[in-house]
Every structure is written in structure tokens, then in C-alpha cells.
Structure 1
Amino acid sequence: MIEHADNIIDLNAILHPGAVYDHPRDVLADQTISTGEKRAILASWASDAAAVVSNPALRELPGSRNIVTIDEVLEALSALDPGPKEPPGGKPARTKSTARVSMAA
């Protein structure tokens, strides 16, 4: 890949990611591209244009050597998102028994 210090973007990776990456985790591991570029590559991989006709749950980029599942692509995309993996505020927890509440009524 090309050094970002040179302020040059490797368009081949963005326009033809199948020729550069074998798996979505390879996109995540590439330290030479920005998070935005990773999102663009993974989004193109997740798009219906990359779907395998006979099995829409699979994705294949032109020029790639491997077929991956849409779940693998979506997992890689979600790995780029900062923030909690749980719902906001954490897991819901009951402080009172629902049985006691119904008996009090």
C-alpha cells in the first residue's frame, strides 16, 4: 500500500477492493487507509451489487479470490463503530419483581 504521509490514496483498493483484500478483516487490519476509506470499501462489499446471484447471503467482489458472507462484511463494518456494544445505558435490570407489583394492585 501507499504511505499516507505522501498524501496519496490507493484508488485501486477503493475501486477494486477484491484485487487487494481477500476478507473483510483484511480491510480492518490495513493501517494505511482511513476509517472512512475502510467504510467505503466494506459498504461496496456489502452492497447488492456484490451479491452472489445463486446465494444472496454471499458476497463476491470482482477480482476477488474468496466469497464471504454478508454477516462477515457487516461485522467488519460494525467493528469500525465506536461506542457500546450493549444498548445505551447498559443491559436493562429489574429492581422489583413483577409478581410483587401485580400482587400489590
Structure 2
Amino acid sequence: MRPTTADDNVFDFDALLHPGTVFEAPRDVLDHPALTLSEKRAILASWASDASAIASCPSMRAPAGLKKPVSIDEILDALRAL
């Protein structure tokens, strides 16, 4: 999925507000060629915040269709990789 379009330079706020519905894994954010460093950091930080806020209910961190929720460790590793 693409959170931005190269043609009109419009940012998809779903990527920021609900990263798990746009990206399957934090690594996908890092590998996305159209996102700036700041956008990647914001998306991953939002994802980390969500994962921390609902740590007691991991099923809420996994969008429909994913086999397992994304762990906070995966998200923090991606943030460190920036």
C-alpha cells in the first residue's frame, strides 16, 4: 500500500493514525521510498504509542488479515534503524 502519491504529494493520514492498516510490518515503513525521514519517524512513533497504549490487548494491534500483532520491539527496532 502507498501512504503517499508521488503525483500530488498528498500524505495519507491513515498511515499516521493507523499504521497497522497501511503497513504489515515496521520494516515496510523503513523501506517505503516515498516517505521522508520525518514521516517515517512519525508513523513509527504513532505505531509505538498505539502498541504501548493497548499492550494488554494485543489483538487490537493487528489489523484484520495479519497473523500476529506487531510487537513493540519490532517498532522500536525500526525507529532505531532510522
Coarse TM-score class (shorter-chain normalised): 0.7 to 0.9
User: Letter of the aligned partner of 2:61 in structure 1?
Assistant: E
2:55 to 49, 52, 57: 52
Q: Paired residue for 1:13?
A: 15
- Cα distance change of structure 1 residues 42 and 71 upon mapping to structure 2, 3 Å threshold: same
* Structure 2: stretches of 5+ with no match in the other structure: none
Query: What SS class does the counterpart of residue 43 from structure 2 fall into?
Result: helix
Structure number, greater radius of gyration: 1
Consecutive aligned runs of 4 or more in structure 1 exceeding 3 Å deviation: none
Q: CA deviation at 1:54?
A: 5.2
- Total equivalences in the alignment: 75
Q: CA deviation at 1:35?
A: 1.1
Q: Paired residue for 1:42?
A: 44
Provide the TM-score with structure 2 as the length reference. Answer: 0.72
Q: Paired residue for 2:24?
A: 22
Q: CA RMSD in A?
A: 2.3
* Structure 1: stretches of 5+ with no match in the other structure: 81-105
- For residues 13-57 of structure 1, what are the alpha-carbon distances to aligned partners after superposition, in whole Å with 9 as ceiling and x for unaligned? 1122111111110111111211111111111111222x33157xx
